[in-house]
Amino acid sequence: MEEEKVYTVRIENECSCFKKSGFENNLTYSDKADAQMKAKILECRMNQEFCHTHYFEAEDRGDEIVIGSVVRADYEEEDED
């Protein structure tokens, strides 16, 4: 009997916007294409709907797709005037 493969979509650093969003972390799928699609949808929604302090990007790491974040460059430059 073959073991069913599981693919996980994980948010690497849960910022306060993610915590308030109602989105779930560590979602699991039996199909990699489904996991990749969900990760892309989450990445897009987070970049459009969140506070815009961070930029989110999904990275495929095999059995896990991790959505990481970095501080947006335009957010850092706001104080330079």
Higher pLDDT, 1 or 58: 58
At residue 12, what is the residue type? E
Confidence (pTM): 0.83
Torsion of CA 21, 26, 28, 33, to 10 degrees: 70
Instruction: Give the mean pLDDT of the chain.
Output: 89
* pLDDT tens sequence across 38-53: 999 999 999 999 888 8
- Which own/partner contact pairs does 4-7 have at CB distance under 8 Å and 24+ positions apart? 4/30, 5/30, 5/32, 5/63, 6/30, 6/63, 7/31, 7/32, 7/34, 7/35, 7/63, 7/64, 7/65
